[in-house]
Structure formats: C-alpha cells, structure tokens
Amino acid sequence: MENIISKYCIIQNRKVIVDGETQFEDKDNLEYGKLMKSIYKHYQIKYPKYFKMDNLCKIAFLGSEILMHDKENIKNIDPARVGVILQNTHSTIDTDKKYTNTIKDKSNYFPSPAVFVYTLPNVMIGEICIRHKFQGENACFISKDFNPEFITEHVNELLDEGKMDACITGYADYIDGKYKAIMFLVEKNKENRKDNISFKAKIIKNLIK
C-alpha cells in the first residue's frame, strides 16, 4: 500500500503554507531571526531550547512543530519507529562562518562550544528527535537542490520494509538570509480515502509549484 503525506508544510518567501493553505504571512519584511520568531509565536510554540538553536535548526524545528501540531495519532506510534530524514543544500556553512570568526584572531581566540555544536547539519535532526523522543531511522542527505525523487524513494523503502511506521522528512536549508523548508509527515496508509496524497516525487513537485 502506498505511503501517504498526512501533513505538509512549506516555509519560504515569508509565508508558511500548510496542506496548501497559507497560515502565516509576513508583510513587515522581517529579517530572518525575527521572521522565525514570529512564526514561533504564531503557532504558540513553547520550547525555550529553540532560542539556542542556529539558523538552520530553527527553520527545520519550526517545520517539524507545525507538522506535529494537532497530530495526536503520532503519539500512539512507538517513537523508536518514527524516523527523521532530511535533505539540505548548504550544510551548516552559516554557522561554520560564525565559528571560524571565533578562531580567526589568535590574540582574541575564543572558540565557542555553543557555536561549534551546531556545525553539523544532522544536529537539526537531533533537535527534532529530542523534542518528540523520536528514535527511528535518521539520515541527513546533502544535495545541490531539493531532490524529491531521491527522498521519496528512500523514505518509502524504509516504510515499506517495515523499518519505521512514520517519518518527518523533506528539505530544510539556510544560507546568507535565504531559507527554505519543504517538510512532510509521512505515514503508512491505513484506509483508502479519496483525499489521500501519496508520497511520490511527481505529486510533491505539484504541491510545491
């Protein structure tokens, strides 16, 4: 049976689109940090660790929060069988640059562990897992652009082989003030319904047009 998108969320161009509907729009031309914070407030998220996160983790985390909002059924799935598998383009170059600045000047040499810890792109996956105690399949793939063919095939295979029951997946990226998240909550199909959206590359390309 096909796996289905039980919810999707796109954060780009100052908008948050959930299941095709614009739920948030910034008209004040906010800079990235403030824009993310207003999304955080809009969804009434309460998670102080958010404020420690780097720019990449923030957008991936918000995407996952929006996906999980009102998805009570996921809590009934064994968290060891919920995966988090994401794609990204620019790794953590934004934070890498910040970290490099702390070691550039040898007379003012203060490498920061709080910055260094965010210099790995899979840390965004770790943050989502910690939030929901998800312990299933994990992987961070890097590709030049969002590659729905690869991610759908990979995630569908893991679901079909019974290695997980649900997955937060998709794409999250941040560099130089540019950001994009295209994220999906994918589950095994339990009942055939007309409005089911199967997790297929062709369908995703239509959704994000």
Which 3 state secondary structure label does DSSP give 135?
coil
Query: Which of 36, 125, 197, 204 is close enough to bind other proteins by CB under 8 A?
Result: 125
Where does this chain touch other proteins (CB under 8 A) — which range of 13-21, 39-47, 62-70, 132-140? 132-140
Choose the binding region for other proteins from 24-32, 64-72, 94-102, 200-208 (rule: CB under 8 A). 94-102
15 binds other proteins (CB under 8 A): no
CB 143 within 8 A of CB 173: no
Cα–Cα distance, 28 to 30 (Å, whole number):
5
User: Which is nearer to other proteins, 6 or 119 (by Cβ)?
Assistant: 119
Query: Judged by CB, which is closer to other proteins: 122, or 198?
Result: 122
Size of residue set near other proteins by CB under 8 A:
50
Smallest gap from Cβ 93 to other proteins, in A, equals 6
Which CB sits closer to other proteins, 13 or 100? 100
Q: How far is CA 104 from CA 4, 131, 154, in A?
A: 48, 34, 40
DSSP classification of residue 206: H
How many other β-carbons are positioned within 10 Å of the β-carbon of residue 1?
11
Query: CB-based burial of residue 106 (10 Å sphere; 0-12 exposed, 13-18 middle, 19+ buried)?
Result: exposed
Q: Answer yes or no: are the C-beta atoms of 3 and 187 closer than 8 Å.
A: yes
| 107 is a site residue for other proteins (CB under 8 A) | no
| Residue ranges in contact with other proteins by CB under 8 A | 79-80, 84, 89-91, 93, 96-97, 99-100, 103, 106, 109, 111-113, 116-117, 119-127, 129-130, 132-144, 147, 150, 153-154, 157-158, 163
